Structure 1
Amino acid sequence: MAVPLIMQNIIVFDFGGVLFDWNPDYLYRELIANDAERAFFLEQVCNPAWNIEQDRGRSFAEAIAIKSAEFPHYAEQIAAFYQRWPETLRGLLPEGMALYERLKAAGYPIFGLTNWSAETFPYAWEKYPFLHEIQNIVVSGHEKVIKPDPAIYHIMYQRICAHYPDTLAEQIIFIDDSALNAEGARQVGWHGIHHRSAEQTEQTLLAMGLSF
């Protein structure tokens, strides 16, 4: 049931790098001991450009097949990206979570907008109950579109309006550790904060007039 918007602003959190400590290096330190080889693997094989396509909705089966054909000698390590994916997620970032908790306690409506594979997000949903407190979460892998495509911000806006029909774009504050994604939010009329640290983001929010 739609309810009136009580607070002036709505907070939308990105997850990785803001609330979650995710890094493939955590896994590949165990699989590839040599620093130079591991750097090559994460820059040229299972690299961000490859991984973001899973966030866009490509299946891991297809992704692994593509890379294994290109780098057959790394087939085992490529397959591990999905098979041992939980080892890439170290846990929560305490400072980011403290900021989240303070904003939630102050009564600000909180939503989530994340570039995340539909195949791995269920792990986080099961292991991290705080996600169930968030009013709505847009997962790129479910929507087949990733930040900073304007379409995914519009999807999030529609979800927000389902809860708070009178929301204006300028009421929405988006916190993301990617400068590109924060700028994408600004392009659709939101306030985009490039999250470099919880302290800096807090100071930005306070300067904007939020009270928490």
Structure 2
Amino acid sequence: MTEIRHIVFDIGKVLIHYDPDLPFQRIIPDAEGRRWFFETVCTHDWNLEQDRGRGWADAEALLIASHPEEADNIRAFRKHWHEMVPYAYEDSAAIMTGLIDAGHDVTMLTNFAADTFREARQRFDFLNRPRGVTVSGEIGLIKPDVAIYERHATDFDLDPAGSVFIDDSIRNVEGARAAGWRGIHFTDAEQLRRDLAAMGIEA
């Protein structure tokens, strides 16, 4: 099996915490109302289109047209985004920076809106440490589309067979495998260390 020469990290729920429910526990205190809002209005699929590159103004206008009574709550999603990412996972971030310090080639590949990623980089300096990053919102492609892995490999001159991708979503890991990469399904930092060690990488 080809030696791993390139280590690629996802960001959300691997390096930094992400939970849209956090500010909305205050904004919509009723649990049932909050569940309805996320299942019907600001849905995962709606938010994913911002990860694909749609601007927030267009995204908000689309929902407000169909749910005018929810206009304030819809605008609150972007307004309070910073509360959805309250902290980094220090243990997995330390693994990533340790790999960089040890001389490994480390990049990142993430589904992230372009503007919120810039904000994340300002808040979490370790996101500036890897050699580079592919941000879905900047290129109009999202995981698990095989094309985004191929784009990342091309842009950063990676050999897919010598690359491993680390993501909390099994669908995204399977997308990487479909592109010829190896994959690690992230659950926690200690398991990540074991999975990397099984590939011959001490972390």
Above 0.5 in TM-score? yes
Task: Answer whether contact 1:153 1:185 (CA < 8 A) is retained.
Answer: yes
RMSD: 1.4
Letter in 1 for 2:171: L
The alignment partner of 1:138 has SS state of strand
* TM-score (normalizing by structure 2): 0.94
Structure 1 gaps of 5+ residues are 1-6, 162-166
Cα distance in 2 between the residues matched to 1:46 and 1:139: 21
Give the aligned partner of residue 83 of structure 1: 79
Give the aligned partner of residue 89 of structure 2: 93
Cα distance in 1 between the residues matched to 2:169 and 2:162: 20
Deviation at 1:8, TM superposition (A): 4.5
Q: Confirm or deny that 1:62 pairs with 2:53.
A: no
Alignment of 1:64-143 (within 5 A): 64-143=60-139
Letter in 2 for 1:159: D
Q: Confirm or deny that 1:18 pairs with 2:9.
A: no
4+ residue segments displaced more than 4 Å: none
- 1:195 is matched with which residue: 168, 186, 190? 186
**Greater alpha carbon shift after TM alignment, 174-183 vs 148-157:** 148-157
Task: Answer whether contact 2:141 2:148 (CA < 8 A) is retained.
Answer: yes
Deviation at 1:95, TM superposition (A): 2.4
Letter in 2 for 1:86: H
Letter in 1 for 2:40: Q
* TM-score (normalizing by structure 1): 0.90
Q: Deviations over 1:124-153 (max 9, x none)?
A: 122222222110100000001101111111
- 2:198 is matched with which residue: 202, 207, 210? 207
Structure 2 gaps of 5+ residues are none
Q: Confirm or deny that 1:180 pairs with 2:171.
A: yes
Q: Confirm or deny that 1:145 pairs with 2:141.
A: yes
Task: Answer whether contact 1:106 1:211 (CA < 8 A) is retained.
Answer: no
Task: Answer whether contact 1:177 1:195 (CA < 8 A) is retained.
Answer: yes
Give the aligned partner of residue 170 of structure 1: 161
Cα distance in 1 between the residues matched to 2:125 and 2:93: 13
The alignment partner of 2:183 has SS state of strand
Deviation at 1:116, TM superposition (A): 0.3
The alignment partner of 1:134 has SS state of coil
**Greater alpha carbon shift after TM alignment, 7-16 vs 167-176:** 7-16
Q: How many positions carry a matched residue from both structures?
A: 201
Cα distance in 2 between the residues matched to 1:49 and 1:19: 22
Q: Deviations over 1:166-197 (max 9, x none)?
A: x4211111000010000000001101111112
Letter in 1 for 2:166: I
Letter in 1 for 2:165: F
**Greater alpha carbon shift after TM alignment, 8-17 vs 101-110:** 101-110
Deviation at 1:112, TM superposition (A): 0.6
Cα distance in 2 between the residues matched to 1:156 and 1:186: 14
Identity of aligned residues (%): 39
Deviation at 1:159, TM superposition (A): 2.2
